[in-house]
Structure 1
Amino acid sequence: MEGNRVPENNLLLVVTAFISGMSIMALEMSASRLLAPYFGTSLFVWTNIIGITMISLSIGYYYGGRIADGKTDSKPMFRVLLGTGSFAVLIPFFAPIVMSVSQGAVSSGSAGVFYGSMLGTILLFAPPITALGGVSPYVIRLSTSGDGSYGTVAGRVFAVSTVGSILGTFLPVLLLIPIVGTKQTILIFGVALIVLGLIGLGKQGLSLVALLLLFTTFLVGSARPGEGVIFEKESVHNYIQVVEHSGVRYLKLNEGYAYHSIYNPGSVTVNGVWDYFNILPLLNRDAKDALIIGLAGGTVAREYRFFYPDLAVDGVELDSEIIKAGNTFFDMAGANLKTYNMDGRSFLKTTDKRYDIVIIDAYKQPYIPFHLTTQEFFTEVRSKLRDGGIVAINVATTGSDSKVQLMLENTLASVYENVYTLDVPNTLNSIIIASDKELFFEFSPEKPVLESIASRARGNIRKIEFDPAEMVLTDDRAPVEMYTDMMILDYIRSQDTRGFTEQFE
């Protein structure tokens, strides 16, 4: 009877369950890195990745089980694995085209980041994950011998598959993506599925060809073209690029358009939003210690080293590879700077030091991490400020009526006695400044460069009052990602978008 058929190779079936489970999670974790340059890493994007993965698995489980009921031969399953692996190895090469099409829908205003990332996830990852979802019920069917041990067999198969999924979660994030990159990570698992399929079909010789193809791809496919790129590295957190044009270096993250740091060997200032943080020590003449959360390549720290050599700066940066790039390419290291590789909020919770100036310039383009925008966070910052201390946060905005900016202003006003907004000239950035003391902006810097910056700043400063009708961001509710998406889409609908992204810093 078909129901009593005993499989010829139980070990191969166990390996199949393991590798399919591992590949599912590896594809899911890699998806976030492919989507990030186009749609960011917001809660919306992760919702789509996880949601589409679960829907695909549900479909795969259902139809895989139905198909398996009528089969006693493993070859159809291994053909599916061969096809799935072949599809997977094509993902890195077709991803730019698919993502550009999906992003085009956003640019035209016909869909938001939510729908664009959903489309990209469906097109690239739903097919292979659906197919892999069908493997476990098929393996269970082939592993049962009709002796009534169905529960034991099913439990064993799901246990093995889940162990594979655990490895597929940690291996890409902790080892493969930082060392070989996202593209090669997907290729590794795609080729693993191809090799498994060929072995299951009795074509071991062709599996060696597949491994050779993977090795060749590593040799010729690792470089990413980019004009002026002098350094690139994929870390646990970011894809990092240092670009040089006309002797000026720029830090780019995740192949986005915005620059996160600028270094001009011939000038201390960089004609960007970072220059305007130089007014903070002028507002607090007794300042001795400053903290920068979101150090990046150290543009502000370098300017402080030149203009305020007696000001000690602690710089907090989540990505250790960005710190290395800052020291190597952006002249970041200096006697005034001490760096800390950790999350900004975690640093505040663990440090006993108090500061005169705290700067928040942390971005996962184009989003500010929500936990660095809340009332609870700014209360923690306040507890680390000396009397008369100042906090300032860089905000990407499309105007003074930007919902993100209004929420941040109101949140700061709920914690501090005095709040001011500096609309940085010639950019789409504002710096929100807060303190428990009243600040006076009629300062007279001795250095001409600082006076030039100060004079431009004075005409663009507004006093902010707390608005009971406006939202206050909290750890429980901080929809900064949603309103950032809405802000960008509203701007795109109403403006000529040329140069739009370059204005965010």
Structure 2
Amino acid sequence: MTQTSASTSRTTSTGDAPHRPPRGLLELIVFVVGTASLGAEIAAARLLAPWFGASTIVWANTIAITLVSLSVGYAIGGRLADRNPTLHGLARWVLASSVFFAAVPFLSAPFLRQSVRAFSEYSGGLFLGSLVGVGAMIAVPVLMLGIVSPYAVRLKVDSVEDTGKTAGRLYALGTIGSLTGTFGATLALIPLVGSQRTFLVFSLLLALVSVPALRGKVRVLGIVITVAIAVLVAVPPGSTKTVTDAGRVIDEAETEYQYARVIEADDGTRVLELNEGQAIHSIYRPDDFLFGGYWDSMLVAGFGGGTAPQKIVNLGSAGGTVARGLTHYFPDVEVDAVELDDKVSEIGREYFGMTSDRITTHTADARPWLQQSDERFDNIMLDAYRQPYIPYYLTTKEFFEVTRDRLNPGGTVTVNVGHVPGNDQLEKVLTATMRSVYGEANVWRDPVDSTNTVLLATTAQEDPRDQLRAADVPPDVRPVADDAASRLEPGLDGGTVYTDDRAPVEWLIDASFAAVAE
């Protein structure tokens, strides 16, 4: 069996001088390609997360795109290797993949923003089309990387007897590279330089290892591409537009979990948008503490129990709109503000007035924090979303059993249920699950507006409407409490009880959006 080995190359028909790549270069290419393929999968999921969250569905789609692309690449790579069994031929594909990898974070941004716009408008076709566009951009460079594995085996095998050993060694090397890319992206690159530069770093590595195997003018092109990518790595990532329809962007950040920005209107009103404006998570005006909507309902809902709340925990406090209102109107109230994203809490302190010494912030995940806490509370407020999803482990019977165990006698649990207009499936599920813990008659609903319903569960036997009307609240808050009492009604029937073992909340929410988009 005669073929060109990885360490030699033929003189081209155009008269290029014989080119002998460095020893071990093929193995290095295989390792770097493995690093880039899985590292890019992590970076791709990170790229999508600020717009679509990091649910199991998003991860499943990202993994599926990667696996399908690699499979197609394997099939194509075998054919290409038989037609042109040279390291130069292989390196051209690696160089091409580096160019596509460098382009992904820049070309995907318009598609992602269009997807979010369609998502907020419930335009299913546009949403899916934009998402497919992003998937295609990720798929192309990964497909090119898939070409490398069979190509490398074809170049490395010297005899049929060595095929199994050679293939096994190369695939092991590629897998080690994949592990390196996975942990390198997760533990180092994304936290240190961000998702955009993570793509660029992998792109630069691919270009660097391809250049020594290239020849003639293609090698010169490879050097130019490598230098260009290196420059892009050095350039700070671009920011979003500084002016929106809602006002001026006065701060923005890509945090560990999401993209956050603060927008200030001409009248001084500030809003906190997460993930490109799918929802407003906090609102602020310097001399105002009531803003309508579910914030006001959450402010007074705790008075629906048997006691006036003094010790409150806000799970998912965001910029602290409700916590700020509570400590302003009720001088005896203490609030534990639990927020997973410490940058969001920092934004709350800097821009949204979450500065009271009676607000204690905790950077933690809601359920683990509550489970580990020894405190007892008069009111547990839940408003934890990574739009459009609520974490499944905050929708289960086991979670609400934890809330009941952490309540003082007569205490309440209030849950903000975000939903698309006209769809109450998530509310029904949460109602049924809360009833399984608090009892059939102890779960109530406040249909605040078309996209938010506040659920109230209480350990007290009194009618929460009477409690709200009788609550000792400041004059400014009296109309808010009366309005909430007039809206309050028994919870809806018809939901399924979710458990830690089975809580398909992502399916439920996706189905609700699909139903509206039809």
Q: Any idea what SS the aligned residue of 1:475 has? A: coil
Match of 2:292 among 271, 278, 285: 271
Pair 1:460–1:440, CA change in 2 (3 A): same
Structure 1 distance, partners of 2:180, 2:476, is 54
Partner of 2:456: 433
Deviations 1:268-325 (A, max 9, x none): 2233321221213423434332111112111111111111232221122111222222
Q: Any idea what SS the aligned residue of 2:438 has? A: coil
Name whichever of 403-412 and 204-213 sits farther off.
204-213
CA shift for structure 1 position 429: 0.5
Partner of 2:2: 2
1:325 aligns with 2:325: no
Match of 2:260 among 222, 240, 244: 240
CA shift for structure 1 position 205: 8.5
Structure 2 distance, partners of 1:258, 1:134, is 42
Count of residues paired in the alignment: 489
Contact 1:49–1:118, Cα closer than 8 Å, also in 2? no
Structure 1 distance, partners of 2:388, 2:122, is 18
Partner of 1:354: 376
Partner of 1:46: 59
What is the identity, as a one-letter code, of the residue corresponding to 2:262? V
Q: Any idea what SS the aligned residue of 2:250 has? A: strand
Runs of 4+ in structure 1 off by over 6 angstroms are: 103-106
Greater Rg over alpha carbons, structure:
2
CA shift for structure 1 position 394: 0.5
1:352-501 → structure 2 map (5 Å cutoff): 352-398=374-420, 402-417=424-439, 418-425=442-449, 427-438=450-461, 439-441=463-465, 442-464=469-491, 467=493, 470-493=495-518
Partner of 1:191: 204
Contact 2:124–2:514, Cα closer than 8 Å, also in 1? no
Name whichever of 310-319 and 266-275 sits farther off.
266-275
CA shift for structure 1 position 45: 2.1
Structure 1 distance, partners of 2:192, 2:263, is 21
Deviations 1:39-72 (A, max 9, x none): 4433322221111211111222232233324443
Task: Give the TM-score normalised by the residue count of structure 1.
Answer: 0.89
Partner of 1:219: 235
Pair 1:225–1:109, CA change in 2 (3 A): closer
Structure 1 distance, partners of 2:346, 2:114, is 35
CA shift for structure 1 position 260: 1.2
Pair 1:255–1:87, CA change in 2 (3 A): same
Unpaired runs of 5+ in structure 2?
A: 9-21
Deviations 1:175-229 (A, max 9, x none): 3333433222222222332333333215378536633543256436432223222
Structure 2 distance, partners of 1:126, 1:208, is 24
Match of 2:42 among 17, 24, 29: 29
What is the identity, as a one-letter code, of the residue corresponding to 1:138? Y
Contact 1:392–1:431, Cα closer than 8 Å, also in 2? yes
What is the identity, as a one-letter code, of the residue corresponding to 1:5? S
1:49-64 → structure 2 map (5 Å cutoff): 49-64=62-77
Structure 2 distance, partners of 1:440, 1:373, is 23
Pair 1:267–1:109, CA change in 2 (3 A): closer
Partner of 1:499: none
CA shift for structure 1 position 470: 3.1
CA shift for structure 1 position 414: 1.2
Contact 1:48–1:118, Cα closer than 8 Å, also in 2? no
What is the identity, as a one-letter code, of the residue corresponding to 2:448? V
CA shift for structure 1 position 378: 0.8
What is the identity, as a one-letter code, of the residue corresponding to 2:488? I
Contact 1:290–1:358, Cα closer than 8 Å, also in 2? yes
CA shift for structure 1 position 267: 1.1
Name whichever of 287-296 and 221-230 sits farther off.
221-230
Structure 2 distance, partners of 1:199, 1:86, is 17
1:127 aligns with 2:140: yes
Structure 2 distance, partners of 1:310, 1:205, is 70
Task: Give the TM-score normalised by the residue count of structure 2.
Answer: 0.86
Pair 1:88–1:372, CA change in 2 (3 A): same
Contact 2:6–2:26, Cα closer than 8 Å, also in 1? no
Q: Any idea what SS the aligned residue of 2:279 has? A: coil
| Structure 1 vs Structure 2 CA RMSD | 2.7
Identity %: 34
Partner of 1:176: 189
CA shift for structure 1 position 151: 3.2
Name whichever of 12-21 and 329-338 sits farther off.
329-338
Partner of 1:249: 270
Contact 2:302–2:414, Cα closer than 8 Å, also in 1? no
1:78 aligns with 2:103: no
1:148 aligns with 2:161: yes
Q: Any idea what SS the aligned residue of 1:309 has? A: coil
Name whichever of 374-383 and 176-185 sits farther off.
176-185
Structure 2 distance, partners of 1:273, 1:198, is 58
1:291-306 → structure 2 map (5 Å cutoff): 291-306=313-328
What is the identity, as a one-letter code, of the residue corresponding to 1:491? V
Pair 1:205–1:80, CA change in 2 (3 A): closer
Q: Any idea what SS the aligned residue of 1:393 has? A: strand
Structure 1 distance, partners of 2:69, 2:175, is 17
1:229 aligns with 2:249: yes
